[in-house]
Amino acid sequence: MGYLATVITCSDRATADIYEDRSGAVLRAGLRALGFTMTPPVILPDEQDQIGAAILAAAEGGSRVILTTGGTGVGPRDVTVEATRPLLAYEIPGIAEAVRAKGSAKTPLAALSRGLAGVIDRDGRRAFIFNAPGSRGGARDALDLLSPLLIHLVEQLDGADHDLNRPASAT
């Protein structure tokens, strides 16, 4: 497999070394455990243009899965969703809804996450992107839901069959 993945942490405080990037570490470890090859960690301030540029660079650099963490709430500096939305060829709303539902079973604050799931298509390079919450718990919830889907999702982006039980090369 060997698909490339990128995790982008969007946080003023992590960028300034006020606190450690824990949610990004959770996502990177989970993707590695699934067999993804990881790019180096990306940690950015909550600046829409920088986040958008990093997402595009990851997609254009060959990452098939791009997970952002942080900046999905309702605060004035939460701009990850705004950086992501214009880059999408289309959304996959069921994934974001399922992650919010999973988190809401633990804390009502999960309903405040505005994270998106979708596909970026740049010059025939297609990548899945998801905006995970900035907490470790939110990152774990996202991974729990995404883990059984990611490989199949990337294969689907490449035109594989829809049957989860049949190898992509089967007809």
In angstroms, rounded to a whole number, what is the distance separating the alpha carbons of residues 155 and 168? Answer: 7
- Give the model confidence (pLDDT) of 106-125 as tens digits: 999 999 999 999 999 998 89
Q: Three-state SS for 142? A: helix
Q: To the nearest whole number, what is the mean pLDDT of the chain? A: 92
The predicted pLDDT at position 17 comes to 80
Burial class (CB in 10 A: 0-12, 13-18, 19+), 139: buried
Where is pLDDT greater, at 6 or 166? 6
Strands, E, within 70-159: which ranges? 90-91, 117-122, 125-132
Average of pLDDT values for 97-106? 94
- The pTM for the full model equals 0.92
Q: Which of 4, 59, 27, 5 is nearest to 138 (CA)?
A: 27
State yes or no: pLDDT of 169 exceeds 50.
Answer: no
The neighbouring-strand residues paired with 125 are 122
Pairing status of strand 37-38 against strand 125-132: unpaired
Domain boundaries along the sequence of the chain:
4-157
Under CATH, which architecture does the 4-157 domain have? Answer: 3-Layer(aba) Sandwich (3.40)
The predicted pLDDT at position 19 comes to 85
Q: Three-state SS for 99? A: helix
The model's confidence at residue 1, banded by pLDDT at 50, 70 and 90, is: low
The model's confidence at residue 83, banded by pLDDT at 50, 70 and 90, is: very high
